[in-house]
Structure 1
């Protein structure tokens, strides 16, 4: 085991120096501290030699008698220190007590955790408590330990900490307080306790040198107060440094040493510490770096403070930040450095820029306003209240008042030689003191739309409207007045022309035979001509008040209101027919029209409408409708009769003529067979007769088929149409593609109508289309049956003239379909063929 408390020459010199310093710090101390230190050091060396000798003797005994109980007079034992304790051979408590009892000085044994393992009796006697188990920090606090030089050291600089690191520390002096309240100077020696090369603890010896004198105590108290004040001052500075809204940077002339959080916010760094270690000039805008560099030596060498300077900094994102900077010298860890405080003036700079911009904008606005005022036809005058000086007069005002330059108000009326006069609308003259501008300056009252007549020297007159408004400051004092003068001569002329136009309109409106009305933009009636009174017998005012539309026939009211609302919503004209009650109670038909009248902005300003009596025309129309209805029924009856006749003729041709010709053919063939061979001429004649009879029979059958195909009744519409297309194609050499399906039971009228439609359509294709292919389709969709015939012929241009002169075939198709409530649709284009579609409603299918 190595237990050493070394005292070497170097430590001895350090103790001598410390004693000298203490003499300087406390001149009242008369004791020769250096001598005491030397004597005590010699005594400790003697003790150490004795301990070493005893240790060697113990080791020799252990080597010769292993496991034997140690001699109680020996100092060391085999008890392990701190789980082998302090030595491999161990020390017993009694032996430790013997070791500690050999010293009059305080001896403390620490474990590796710096907790007190054991202390000797002088510690108990001097300090009055058991330190066992206490940490070195607690010991320092309990004895109020302070360094003699008054310097505060970190915990790692304490001798116990250093001893555990393997260092031998001697000659350190500090002050402790005993249990009796006295304060003494002790010298500490500490060293490691080892087992082999392993440090298992430390041993510390406190040697009491002397008690503090009053002067030393006062001096230390003063130092402590200074240290506390310095700490408080440093703490206040640190608080101000951290919490300052201004950005603060400490730098040594080159590198940044410290920054406060505000710097990060100013320059856009998430953590301001990112700047530490960087170059200070890097955060300065390039155009200011030369100036900043020139100020650094002046501040450091002369301890001067730079005046406020507006510069730009460079943010993390490369943006420029406008700041106001001030710098000065301070000390940072004993080093002279420069402290710079930046105040963000970006907002102020922006405000200055905005103010300049607003000032420029205001000047521009004034120029623009004057330009506008000089271009508008309204005259504007601005005059001051104190002396009536005119500060602004627009071009229109100069022209109206016949002046060429600014002056004062009274200059406009220089005595009897004034160049203009002002007259009331009744042509009575207005005295100059009562001119609107003069009254406004004098009384401070607003004058609105005062009509005057301005008369010039040459007798030329102008009707005007003058308005004056006083200009006041925040206290209500009149600063001046602004006057507007409007030339209303043209307006007067226009009003006169408008009155004349309205009079002409009224004369024309009253002379019209129609009922005429006008509403405002909201639809409220504002005018009805006298024809309303003559027709209804109700006074005009009463009709306008109660709404004359109440006289419309009840059944027509709802429809008329629906049409009117839609027209009012869309702004479109409307036209409709309705009945209006006459003064004798009779309702007559009228054609009502409404037309929106729009202003220059295309907004509806009013509605104009007429009601024209169409009663006689309506009666003729009803009679015509009735006649058309009768004609339609007659046509339907004719078609039905015609089809019946065709059916009968077809049947007779098929049954009577067909059978007779068949019988004739058979007789002729029998005669031909019975003729002798020498009658060849007669045989040839009979053969020709048989051929003619056969040809006539086929033609009669074809005619019967065209008049009324028997298959239509027997096989249905789809098969009949398909068969007809086949026969027609074979007869005329036209390609026909048919596609259809059998439909639900159809009436005879529907079947024959669609059959005739196909006949006529294919006939037209052969006549006009120049087509080689026709597609025919029969089907139904959405309660409608349709038959489509589409060719690939030359087509034609669809226009009213063509449709107006369409063939009888198309007319016949339309007539047939209309009888069944159906329609004919024609689609054609030159070069793309023609498509005819017949459509019949589903209610006609059964």
Structure 2
């Protein structure tokens, strides 16, 4: 027997670990006493490959594979696996095996040691359980609870600290907690904390902590050291207790006049803030009404221009120069219509037609459109969470919102960078909505758009949703893009939040209300030739120029056309007995009889009649809660000849 083997055996017989020796081929020919004591086996049972009987059958194939690979490669073997004791219980062992080589490098034997990790793993689990109990208790305590490392670096806070301060998890770690301490108190706190760290004595101090709304409240902080068996400090555990009320009472007794003055000032500030909030709400309401009225007249004007240009285009067919000028004018009409739509959107006056949509599928379907709009230098990544909820949203408007945000991101990245679009489920709780009063608690589908652009300066980040505010150069933007997205999301019952850091990029999160309804199946419109018909259409429009243009367009499409200047006149035409297949009426008209009432009365007299509304601004006649009434067909102004023709045929098809 080689000397090294004898030495190993002599040493191994007295070790508390399980030891063994194998030949170059892995055939085990010797075990120490501790092995037989633990496994309750005999040498005859264990010799060779008999050790397999005390291995867990589920782990054995992996052990064999690893052990044979080591034998083949000559490399040391190390693995954690369970071994069965004589009592039938499997315990975790860490096995390390090393080869012994001769002078030529050939393996002469393998020396193995199995170390029982049961106590170690139990101790680690006990530590984890203890830590979990501490965390559970600390989360249940209404006070602030925190822990620090032996050097004084704070490394954990309970949820009450984050809820109070409004900070995100991790933001207060290390020395960053000083950011929420009143500036006048920082120096004294730091000196006291340093003294406790040096002496190991308990810590106590009173100071002011900033709340999420910016107000400071007095707290008393206490911390005690936790020591190990050798007396070394392993951790500090601290609490902060709100003593603002006690402080206020003491100050009130000592300085009654100052306290009264402070209360008056505080109450005045609250009233001023409430008045400012009310004024802002009233301003937005007034602005919404103003934009609605402007959009109505503007869209009527655009309809006259657009309709006549389209009719003129047919008259000048073949004259390339004239056609080019008309097309240029039509492009201006399109831009004007977009501006009017943006005005209505930020004023929350859009007639939304929501559908049940799966946002994940929706953004995947817009991928090609975004890539064409952003160019090859923008990398687009789409991340959709599993089990995504549905939302009820206007598909056209959410597509415009995504495109608007993507184009803004492209400009912020100067045409080169990465755009990430993420969709997932989110719940806004009372804690969040308390810090964001414009949000409503509930479940939402979260759509987040992140760029790697220049970011937005902190002093203007709160202004980016204001109408006509823009950071772009003159002539590069109307300042209505983000405000349009904001208005659409709010009108849809959602919430919008922006996060930005200069030089790092921007994330805009859209929270869209969840619905439990099944996704609507949307059949895409099939583009085809413009078709007219021979049916009879009653056109009701108070604006003479708009009416004349609409009638001319319908006649050009082959329809028989009747016309009326208001709802009362239109009802007279209906009652005259004239054959009418479709009522094409403006929504907003003068007179005592409103368009929805005209539609109802006309259907009573002509049961087969179908109705198509048109408007530049619907007010609340056929839109309630920001959404088109069920069963209502609307063609927004200004509309093209093609759009009118297709909508007329679609509405007439409903008679069948």
So what's the TM-score if we normalise by structure 1? 0.27
So what's the TM-score if we normalise by structure 2? 0.34
Structure number with greater Rg is 1
